[in-house]
Amino acid sequence: MTFNDLLNTIENTFLNMHPAELWAVITGVVYILLAARENIWCWLFGIISSGLSIYVFFFSKLYAESILYFYYILAGFYGWYKWNQKTETSEHFPISLWKRKDHILAIVSGIALALLLAWILRQFTDAQMPIVDAHTTIFSFIATYMTAKKVLETWLYWIVIDAVSIWLYWSRDLYLYSILMLVYTIMAIYAFFHWWKLMKKERDLAH
């Protein structure tokens, strides 16, 4: 595909796309921008974007993604609740780090669950890419939980997940979602370093 073909594809996508996909992408961009800035309103836009995305992914036969975005809605309410909490040393819920054993547990269990989900999708649905779909779905579950808990390394997980999702969505002709994942990847890199600075500042003030 040449660059002109790519531009024509994007133009045709905008002209022919369902309004639900457009608004899901717009609210999704707002979500990641606010999350990167540690703004609690990110969860509201995340809930809206996820609700619209369920519709889009279901009719694109990405069933695991549909399940994932339903989880995002639940996680949105949980994230709003957690980020509203205060501690003895901070007026807002602080950023934290996971121990090595936490990451090992998350990765090993994530792979095991993803393989199980991939088998279920292959056996009982007409999912197009069950292996990739299952892994991005399961690890997005994990990364979303980490985001709600304000774990710094959540953004490292998101960088990998979003980068893989660029290809996944492009292969299903969801070009706007693919572009959204590219934006998410860039923003996740920014968010990691921004949260790192905020965490250091919070810890300096606590001492």
- Candidate ranges 105-119, 161-175, 177-191; pick with highest mean pLDDT: 105-119
Higher pLDDT pick, 203 / 90:
203
pLDDT recorded at residue 14: 61
Q: Are 153 and 193 in contact (CB under 8 A)?
A: no
Q: What is the count of structural domains for the chain?
A: 1
Listed in sequence order, the residues at least 6 apart from 155 whose beta carbon sits closer than 8 Å to its beta carbon are 188, 189, 191, 192, 195
When pLDDT is averaged across residues 127-139 and rounded to a whole number, the result is 87
Q: Is the pLDDT of residue 46 over 80?
A: yes
When pLDDT is averaged across residues 1-28 and rounded to a whole number, the result is 72
Average pLDDT, the chain: 86
pLDDT recorded at residue 31: 92
Query: 108: pLDDT confidence band, cut at 50, 70 and 90?
Result: very high
Q: Which two tokens stand for residue 136?
A: 């991005």
Range of the domain at 200: 3-206
Listed in sequence order, the residues at least 6 apart from 7 whose beta carbon sits closer than 8 Å to its beta carbon are none
Listed in sequence order, the residues at least 6 apart from 158 whose beta carbon sits closer than 8 Å to its beta carbon are 143, 147, 184, 185, 188, 191
When pLDDT is averaged across residues 87-96 and rounded to a whole number, the result is 70
When pLDDT is averaged across residues 134-157 and rounded to a whole number, the result is 93
**How do residues 48-82 score in pLDDT, each as one tens digit?**
999 998 988 888 777 777 888 898 899 999 999 98
Query: 90: pLDDT confidence band, cut at 50, 70 and 90?
Result: low
Q: Which two tokens stand for residue 30?
A: 């707002």
Listed in sequence order, the residues at least 6 apart from 10 whose beta carbon sits closer than 8 Å to its beta carbon are 175, 176, 179
Amino acid at 65: E
